[in-house]
Amino acid sequence: MSRTEVPPGTGRAVRVAAGDLIRVIDVDGGQVGDVFAFRDGGGAELAEHHSAAHTRAGVDRLFPAVGEAFLTDLRRPILTLIEDTSPGEHDMLIPACDPARYTALGAPDHRSCAVNLREALAAQGLSFTGPTPQPINVFMRIPVGAGGRLNWLTANSRPGDAVTLRAEMDCVVVVSACPQDLVRISEAGLSPLAIETVHNGGTRS
C-alpha cells in the first residue's frame, strides 16, 4: 500500500492499474475533495476521462451507491465505489472551482481545483488539453430542494472518513483538497486529504 498526502488547497495525482483500490480519506473531517479520473494509455496526453453526466445517465441517480460504477465520456466503467465510511453525502452536479469562479467572487488570484488538476498532472509528466471534467465531489453536500433549488451545505464528514474506489481500467486519479473557502462547503479553514492506494498486482497496458 502507498499513501499520498494532499495538502490543503492543493492536488495530487496517482497512477493505478486495473484492480487497484484507491481510498480517498478526509484526514481531519469536513473537507470537500474533487476527484478526477483519466484512462491511462501509457502516453503523456490523456483523453478519455470520468464523466459525471454519463455516470448519472448510466446509474439513474445523482451519485452512485456502493457497488455502482463511474463511467467515462465513452460510457465505460473507470472506477467503482466499493466502500464508503462517511455519512454518504457526495455530489456530481457542481463543476470544479476555477479562476473564473473566484474572479466572480472577487478573489482572482485564489487557488482552484481546475488549476490543481493541471498542476498535479504536470507533476507526473502528463497533460489534458480538454475542458476541465466535472469531478466527483466527495464529501460535498449539495442536496436538491423544493423546486429543484440547490442547497450549499457544509461537509459533515468526520476525521478519517473515506471512500474506496476500485480501478476498472489502468487510470490516473487526481484528488484536489478543494480550496474553496469563500463559499462554506468545507468546515472553517481548509484541511488535508490523503490517497491510499492498494496495488493488487496488476500491470498497466
Give the pLDDT of residue 172.
Answer: 98
Q: What is the pLDDT of residues 80-109, one digit of tens each?
A: 999 999 999 999 999 999 999 999 999 999
Which set of grid coordinates corresponds to residue 90?
457526495
3-state secondary structure the chain: CEEEEECCCCEEEEEECCCCEEEEEECCCCCCEEEEEEECCCCCECCCEECHHHHHHHHCCCCCCCCCEEEECCCCEEEEEEEECCCCCCECCCCCCCHHHHHHCCCCCCCCHHHHHHHHHHHCCCECCCCCCCCEEECCECCECHHHCECCECCCCCCCCEEEEEECCCEEEEEEECCCCCCCCCCCCCCCEEEEEECCCCCCC
Give the pLDDT of residue 201.
Answer: 60
Q: What is the pLDDT of residues 114-138, one digit of tens each?
A: 999 999 999 999 999 999 999 999 9
Per-residue pLDDT of the chain (205 residues; tens, 9 = 90+): 899 999 999 999 999 999 999 999 999 999 999 999 999 999 999 999 999 999 999 999 988 899 999 999 999 999 999 999 999 999 999 999 999 999 999 999 999 999 999 999 999 999 999 999 999 999 999 999 999 999 999 999 999 999 999 999 999 999 999 999 999 899 878 999 999 999 986 554 3
List, in order, residues 6 or more apart from 169 with CB less than 8 Å away.
18, 39, 40, 76, 77, 78
Which set of grid coordinates corresponds to residue 26?
478526509
**Phi-psi map region of 148: left, alpha, beta (phi>0 left; psi -120 to 50 alpha):** left
